[in-house]
A and B are shown apart, each in its own frame.
Chain A
């Protein structure tokens, strides 16, 4: 059951990683992140059903990546058209993302309806794997593998590339990076794209987990994404990973004993963490 919880946590991490970077670097609370999930899911679905004939694992991974790219480009578009115009108007930036979330949800709902559509899933996903005596559904492995891949990729980007350097410095002190002659805005765009990409992939995986694609699912995951980001610490990807796993496992256990208790427990956990350590587990101290 722990593995299942970690699997769920992996999904939460995919959503939260983009959110935390976007907030850490730009101070933008991106409500449209759920929209990125939905876009990734729908584009992935379209790709899988129209272009691919068979639901094989390589095809699935391809569909996942396509969905991610679509969401990434949408994120970039949103950033260029809307967010940049509202430079330093933080509250307004948040509001605009709320607007985008509404519009995207309405468009997808209007075009495709709100019912669940099955995502073509490779059969292997539905098998059970024997792991030290317990049987786990194979799809959980995929979630965890993807999340870990994302975590490693993210770490590598931040540590070894110049843009990663700029992002790390920018999260700490944006103005000084500008004063060194570096256009931090370009780093923003990259972060938005990456956040969208991660969310898009998350969207595809979430549809598999939830047995279907629908615009309505995004909302719940967005909220959990926020909870993960707050508990893990704003701006810290490692924090999101740890918090996501924690939350996934706790929710799984709580739901096992009393159905529906999971959500409630998580809310209590959030309140608890905030009372004790308002900046989250890995966050910077709020002065």
Chain B
């Protein structure tokens, strides 16, 4: 008897099917473009959180510069398309390849360090990336306001509010694709090495494996997928903006993964989707005056999403380090052992 609920695979298939069908199934909340857009963004972040989970939860690499690769995919795709360097789908592939190369270079340099130093180095690289897009290097990156995607150069199926559902479906497909790839990687023999690396690097070295190469592999895969998701984000947002390169994004990913549970795949996805969804809703509600009646001392912090997030984060880290999925499995364990002891 495993910890996984035996119907969980079917449950998952049903949910995914429902998510696919919803936009065209009569009038439900998901038939409106507003929610479709919100969820599409949430899907992208869920997938992004999963790529971060590969790094942090599975391989034990605490990187603070993951946003760099997300932004790389975002900006490169935009630049290629806008300047008619490639046709849109080649642009996407090219940006993924270039982002992988970037991940390889950054990883090769950063992985000469470990642990906390590694975290700081990746932070520095991430910030360098942020600076590059912010300062409009070579006139390509558009500075603080970013660059708007030239909508005429992409398939029209993705343009316009009425076509939001196509974006929604595309985002969902990206999420599923990412999930399948990462599932395949983590279940493969390389994936086993990643997990072993997280727990005890020395043991892996003693086995004669070059730990740095495996870490680099994990780093590049995560970076490449982040690049893909950057392209997806470009389609969703219609533009490339510097805020996607900020360390805040990476920190948000860290939060998502911790809240959802670092060691499980679905935990990271759920954490990402929930976080993204809730933050967007919070922002909408605040703008619509949810906290208007409260004194400034209370409403001020509450209207900043970071406040609640920070508090929840602290509480989770201190008292429930396994996150959502950790708590779920703990309950499962308890109910299973109860079943066993009562059936004696």
Are B300 and A110 in contact (CB-based, < 8 A)?
A: yes
Complex partner residue of B304 from A109, A223, A274, CB under 8 angstroms: A109
A278–B113 contact, CB under 8 A? yes
Could you tell me if B109 and A264 are in contact, using CB atoms closer than 8 angstroms?
A: no
Is B128 touching A274 in the complex (CB atoms < 8 A)? no
- B148 interface residue, CB < 8 Å from A? no
Q: A43 to chain B: closest CB distance in Å?
A: 17
Interface positions, chain B 115-144, Cβ under 8 Å from A, are 116-117, 119-121, 123-125, 127-128, 131-132, 135
| Residue numbers in B under 8 Å from A27 (CB-CB) | 116
Among residues 96 to 115 in chain B, which have CB atoms less than 8 Å away from a CB atom of chain A? 109-110, 112-114
Contact for A95 among B132, B254, B307, B311, CB less than 8 A: B254
Q: Does A271 contact B (CB under 8 A)?
A: yes
Give every chain B residue within 8 A of A29 (Cβ-Cβ): 116, 119-120
Which residues of chain A are within 8 angstroms of B258 by Cβ–Cβ distance? 95
> Which chain B positions have C-beta within 8 A of A96?
314, 317-318
CB distance from B310 to the nearest CB of A (A): 3
Whole-angstrom CA separation of A98 from B112 in the bound complex: 24
Q: Which residues of A contact B314 (CB under 8 A)?
A: 82, 96, 99-100, 103
- Whether B301 is near chain A, meaning CB under 8 Å from some CB there, is yes
Q: Most chain-A Cβ atoms within 10 A of its Cβ — which of B127, B132, B135, B297?
A: B127
B306 to chain A, nearest CB (A): 4
- Contact A223-B303, Cβ < 8 Å, known A274-B112, A275-B109: no
Tell me if A118 is interfacial: C-beta within 8 Å of chain B: no
Q: Is the CB of B301 within 8 A of A230?
A: no
Asked whether any CB of chain A lies closer than 8 Å to the CB of B321, the reply is: yes
Are B131 and A263 within 8 A (Cβ)?
yes
Q: State A226–B307 Cα separation when bound (angstroms).
A: 24
Given the known interface contacts A29-B119, A271-B109, the answer about A105 and B306 at a Cβ–Cβ threshold of 8 Å is: yes
Q: Which residues of A contact B113 (CB under 8 A)?
A: 274, 278, 286
Question: Are B306 and A226 in contact, with the CB atoms below 8 A?
Answer: no
Residue from the list A86, A259, A267 in contact with B127, Cβ < 8 A: A267
A270/B251 in contact, CB under 8 A: no
- CB neighbours (8 Å) of A98 from chain B are 251, 254-255, 310, 313
Cα A226 to Cα B118 in complex, Å, equals 11
Q: List residues 180-204 of chain A with CB under 8 A from any CB of chain B.
A: none
**Nearest CB in chain A: distance from B92 CB, A:** 27
Which among B110, B116, B124, B302 is the interface contact of A110 at CB below 8 angstroms? B302
A78 to B303, CA, bound (A): 24
When the two chains form their complex, are residues B132 and A85 in contact, meaning their CB atoms are under 8 A apart?
A: no
Q: From B128, B300, B317, give the contact of A111 (CB < 8 A).
A: B300
Give a binary string over B23-36; 1 marks a CB under 8 Å from any A CB, 0 the rest: 00000000000000
Interface size on B, residues (CB 8 A): 43
Whether a CB of chain A sits under 8 angstroms from the CB of B247 is yes
Are B296 and A111 closer than 8 Å at their CB atoms?
yes
A106 touching B301, Cβ below 8 Å: yes
**Are A263 and B306 closer than 8 Å at their CB atoms?**
no
Decide: B302 and A278 in contact? CB cutoff 8 A.
Answer: no
Query: Of residues 306 to 330 in B, which have CB atoms within 8 Å of A's CB atoms?
Result: 306-307, 309-311, 313-314, 317-318, 321
B268 within 8 A of A: no
Q: Bound state CA distance, A227 and B124, in angstroms?
A: 7
Q: Is B62 in the interface zone, CB < 8 Å from A?
A: yes
A167 close to B (CB within 8 Å): no
Residues on A with beta carbons closer than 8 Å to the beta carbon of B307: 102-103, 106-107, 110
Contacts of A246 in B (CB 8 A): none
Q: Contact check, B125 vs A227: say whether CB atoms are below 8 A apart.
A: no
Inter-chain contact A270/B121, CB cutoff 8 Å: yes
Minimum CB–CB distance from B246 to chain A (whole Å) comes to 9
Given contacts A85-B318, A103-B311, A111-B300, contact A274 B109 (CB under 8 A): yes
- Does the CB pair A107–B301 fall under 8 Å? yes
The answer, yes or no, to whether A101 is at the interface (CB within 8 Å) is: yes
Asked if A223 contacts B114 (CB within 8 A), the reply is: no
Chain A residues in 8 Å Cβ range of B131: 260, 263-264, 267
Q: How far is the CA of A263 from the CA of B135 in the complex (A)?
A: 10
Min Cβ gap A42→B in Å is 13
B317 CB contact (under 8 Å) in A92, A219, A227, A278: A92
Footprint of B on A, CB under 8 Å? 23, 27, 29, 82, 85-86, 89-92, 94-96, 98-103, 105-107, 109-111, 219, 223, 226-227, 229-230, 234, 259-260, 263-264, 266-268, 270-271, 274-275, 278, 286
List residues of B whose CB falls within 8 A of some A CB. Answer: 62, 109-110, 112-114, 116-117, 119-121, 123-125, 127-128, 131-132, 135, 247, 251, 254-255, 258, 296-297, 299-307, 309-311, 313-314, 317-318, 321
Extra pairs beyond A106-B301, A264-B132, A267-B127 (5, CB < 8 Å): A29-B120, A90-B116, A107-B300, A110-B307, A275-B109
